[in-house]
Amino acid sequence: MKKHNKYAVLGLKALQRAAEKVAENARKNKHKIPVWRNGRIEYEIPGISTEQPSLADSEKGSGASR
């Protein structure tokens, strides 16, 4: 049995890219975006993302071997 459907993974990655673009645009223009926190919606300007892609993701995209 497959762990993940490839289309579900592609959709998730597309949503993550879109969310990053929205957050970047909000930071640049100082817009607040809604965030669900503590059982209610709070509006805040997103912080800088420090998340880095995993090693497996970077190896797939680069095409270079070590």
pLDDT tens readout for residues 30-58:
999 998 999 999 999 888 766 666 655 55
Q: Where are the domains of the chain?
A: 1-48
Reference 9, options 51, 56, 63, 47; nearest CA is 56
The pTM of the whole model exceeds 0.75: no
Per-residue confidence (pLDDT) for residue 1, from 0 to 100: 47
Reference 27, options 6, 51, 49; nearest CA is 49
Give the Cα separation of 35 and 52 in Å (integer).
22
Locate 55 and state its tokens. 């090693």
* Residue scoring higher pLDDT (3 or 6): 6
Alpha carbon 45 to its chain centroid, in Å, reads 16
Residue 40, phi then psi, degrees to nearest 5: -150, 170
